[in-house]
Amino acid sequence: MTLAITIRRAALLLFAACSGVSRAGDHELSSITKELPDVPAPPQGDMWWISKSMRMNGLPMTLKNFRSRLSLDAVCEYYRVNGGARLTNEVHAHRSGDWSVLSIRSQRHLVTIQVRPTQLGSEGTITVSPLPETYRLKFATTFPHPDTSIVVNLQEYDDAGVLAEHISMTSARSVAIEAQAFVEKLRGGRWQITLREPMRTISRGQLIEAQKGAQHALLSLMPDLERPGKTAIVVVWKKS
C-alpha cells in the first residue's frame, strides 16, 4: 500500500472520531503547511481536503482527494505538463497496482499525485510536503503504550485547531496479552476505560476506548496477517 493511500484511509478514520471538536492550540504545524503550494483540481473535476495540516513521521504535509471526468492518462498528462513547466522541476512516474503515481519535485517542495480509473473517469489524492530530506523522521509519541508496542508510523494533525494523532504500532506478543498491557498502562495514567470488546469482523481482534478529561482514544488491536504471531495496533488519539 502506498503512502498517500495509507494517509487517506487513516485521515478518514481520524476525523470520523474527532468530528466537531476544536480548540486554540499550537499552530506551529499549520504555520508550516499553509506555506505549501495549493495544487488545483484537474480539469472537469473537483477536489476536497482530507487534511490541511498534518505530519507523517515528522514530515509536514497537506492531503486532498479529487475526482475528474478525464481519464487516468489525461489527468497524469495534465499534472505532468504543468508540474514540469519549470526547468528546475523533476517529474517521475510509476505504477502501483491500479494506481499511477506522479512525483513532482521542485527546489523546495515535493508533490505526489496518485490517480486510478473509475467508471466515470478517474480519482486520486494529492500530497504536498517540503523536501523529505529537510526533516528528520519522527516516531515518538507521548500516548501511553507498553514498551512491547513499537511505533512504526505516526501521523499528527492540526486542522482548525483540532490536535490529534493516528499511531500505528506492532508487538511481538499476542492480541490478548498486548490489549491487557494497554489497559493497565492507561489506567496507570488515570485514563478511564469506557469500552473493551471483541472486533465483530476480525477474529481475535479487540477494541478499546479510553477517556481522560478532554482526551479520547480508540485502540484497535488485531493479529498481523503479514507477520504471524504478532499484533498490529492502530490508535486514534484526540488530544484535546
Interval 155-206: pLDDT, tens: 999 877 778 999 999 999 999 999 999 999 999 999 999 999 999 989 899 9
Angle at 58 between CA 85 and CA 103, to 5 degrees: 25
Pick among 1.10.10.10, 3.20.20.70, 3.40.50.2020, 3.40.1000.10: CATH of 150-238: 3.40.1000.10
Integer angstrom CA distances of residue 161 from 8, 20, 22, 158, 201: 20, 11, 5, 6, 34
**Distance of CA 212 to CAs 29, 102, 207, 228, 236, Å?**
24, 42, 17, 33, 14
pLDDT band of 139, cuts 50, 70, 90: confident
Q: What angle do CA 94, 59, 216 make, to 5 degrees?
A: 115
pLDDT of 92 higher than 80? yes
Using 50, 70 and 90 to split pLDDT, how confident is the model at 85?
A: low
The confidence score (pLDDT) of residue 22 equals 32
135 or 84, which is more confident?
135
The three three-digit cell numbers of residue 17, written as one number: 472520531
CA dist., res. 141 & res. 155, Å (int): 10
Q: State the pLDDT confidence band at 236, using cuts at 50, 70 and 90.
A: very high
Domain extents in the chain: 3-132, 150-238
pLDDT above 70 covers a percentage of the chain that reads: 87
- Cα-only R_g, the chain: 19
Average pLDDT for the chain: 86
pLDDT band (50, 70, 90) for residue 48: very high
pTM reported for the whole predicted model = 0.75
Q: Which of 100, 14, 92 is nearest to 50 (CA)?
A: 14
**In this model, does residue 20 exceed pLDDT 60?**
no
What is the pLDDT averaged over residues 62-91? 89
**Residue 126 near residue 220, CB atoms below 8 Å:** no
